[in-house]
Amino acid sequence: MNNNDKPPLRRVTSIDVAERAGVSQSTVSRALSGSETITEATRRRVELAAEQLGYHVNARAAGLRRGETGTIAIVVIGREGQGPAAINPFYYSLLGSTCAAAAERGYEALVSFQARPEEFFGHYVARRQADGVVVIGTATNEAAWDYFRTCAEQSKGMAFWGSPFDDSVWVRSDNREAGRLAVERLARSGAERIVFVGDTASSQRQFRERYEGYRDAMEQAGLLPVEPVISDGEDRVSQGRNAIRQMADSGAGFDGLFFACDAMALGALEELASLGIAVPDQVGVIGFDGLGSGEFSAPPLTTVQPDFAQAGMTLVDTALASGEDRPERRVKVHLVERASVR
């Protein structure tokens, strides 16, 4: 029950277990790793000894010998000069699903948040800390992506979520489908002058893909696609606010809005309200991301969301695929109906 025999002076090793069970170290190893060639009786004896001694196999020594790390590294890129508190919740969801996917594949997840150049590091595979690395996070930190782009040239086993460059192993949402879904839903509500808001030249490549999906869907619906509305702003929320102000000033009419991301849509909702433009009655609004914040906005935000579980799994599998086959991986998206479209 308690340790009044003798205090553990030294960490208990497989040799201690072997001694206690009256077998060799090899047998302990085999018994505890589930080898087939061990008698049930022996295995039980070993397991008992291990439990009595509070023994757990030293994962690092085992891995060193086996040559596998059994872990996958996940790096989350943040905006320079901002802490993890400023991370877009979208990436937290993605991080969570990626960890879960890693676990499902039998891997541990080593995660790091990187924002400043001094802390950029991606050589986890070379350092034998991981068998693969997945990189997610804001596309706005150029220095970080430059760094990781170089990393990817040097090492195998890297997978990126929505990288700002195409020449590496990336995983993305099916953004064209997202555009289609949004336009279709807006059109169904009766909207005809639907505009896409977001910078199609953004380092976030996925924005452009969403715009293309919008454009094609508009044409297919017999509607007139217009040029994307691009606005400035410190962050995505103010970009959304400013876009509305800009459109109001220009006097261009619109009755449906598809935003490149939820944060912009959320800012827009505020601005629309303060301008007295009713959502969804005068204008329907759809975002992209599926942020939790959209559940409580006024009105709750209808949005397109990727399948996070699939995203995490694809990221992990891609990182582990050792780069020989480089399939373009697209993650399914679906519409989350809330109340910003009639």
Per CB under 8 A, residues contacting a second copy are 11, 54-61, 63-64, 69, 71, 76, 83-85, 87, 89, 92-93, 95-97, 99-100, 103, 108-113, 119, 123, 126-129, 154, 266, 269-270, 292-298, 308-309
CB 288 within 8 A of CB 301: no
Instruction: State the CB neighbour count (10 A cutoff) for residue 159.
Output: 29
Q: Which does 30 bind (CB under 5 to 8 A by kind): DNA, a second copy, none?
A: DNA
Minimal distance in Å, beta carbon 126 to DNA? Answer: 9
Q: Where are the alpha helices (DSSP H) in the chain?
A: 14-21, 25-32, 40-53, 59-66, 89-104, 142-154, 175-188, 205-220, 236-250, 262-274, 308-320
The count of C-alpha atoms lying within 13 angstroms of the C-alpha of 340, restricted to the half-sphere facing its C-beta, is 31
Q: Which is nearer to DNA, 51 or 227 (CB)?
A: 51
Nearest CB to DNA, comparing residues 36 and 324: 36
Q: Decide: 210 and 175 in contact? Cβ < 8 Å.
A: yes
Q: Which of DNA, a second copy, none does 38 bind, CB closer than 5 to 8 A by kind? A: DNA
54/251 with CB nearer a second copy = 54
**C-alpha–C-alpha distance, residues 210 and 239, integer Å:** 17
Shortest distance, CB of residue 330 to a second copy, whole angstroms?
Answer: 20
105 binds, among a second copy, DNA, none (CB under 5 to 8 A by kind): none
Chosen from DNA, a second copy, none, partner binding at 42 (C-beta under 5 to 8 Å by type): DNA
Q: CA separation (Å) from 19 to 6, 31, 98, 242, 280?
A: 17, 14, 41, 73, 74
CA geometry: angle 251, 175, 80, nearest 5 deg? 80
In whole angstroms, the minimum distance from the beta carbon of 270 to a second copy comes to: 7
- Which one of a second copy, DNA, none is in contact with 113 (Cβ closer than 5 to 8 A by kind)? a second copy
Give 44 or 188: the residue with its C-beta nearer to DNA: 44
Nearer to DNA, 19 or 184 (CB): 19
Which amino acid does the sequence have at 187? A
Q: Which is nearer to a second copy, 250 or 296 (CB)?
A: 296
Query: What is the nearest approach in angstroms of DNA to the Cβ of residue 70?
Result: 11
Is 237:271 a contact under the CB 8 Å cutoff? no
CA–CA gap between residue 74 and residue 135 (Å, rounded): 6
How near is the Cβ of 147 to DNA at its closest, in Å?
23
C-alpha pair distances (Å), 138 with each of 186, 257, 261, 289: 28, 23, 12, 13
* Smallest separation (angstroms) from DNA to the CB of 71: 15
Name the residue type at position 5: D
75: nearest Cα among 100, 90, 101, 95: 95
State in angstroms the smallest separation of the CB of 303 from a second copy.
13
Partner from a second copy, DNA, none binding residue 103, C-beta < 5-8 Å depending on class? a second copy
Residue 69: CB minimum distance to a second copy, A:
7
Footprint of DNA (CB under 7 A) = 10-11, 13-15, 22-30, 32-33, 36-39, 41-42, 55, 57-58, 61-62, 64-67, 128
The whole-angstrom distance between residue 96's C-alpha and the CA centroid of its chain comes to 8
What does the DSSP assignment read for 95-151?
Answer: HHHHHHHHHHTT-EEEEEEE-SGGG---TTTTTTS-SEEEEEE-TT-HHHHHHHHHH
- Residue 1, contacted partner among a second copy, DNA, none, CB below 5-8 A by kind: none
**Closer Cβ to a second copy, 295 or 337, answer by number:** 295
Question: Which CB atom, from 129 or from 246, has the smaller least distance to DNA?
Answer: 129
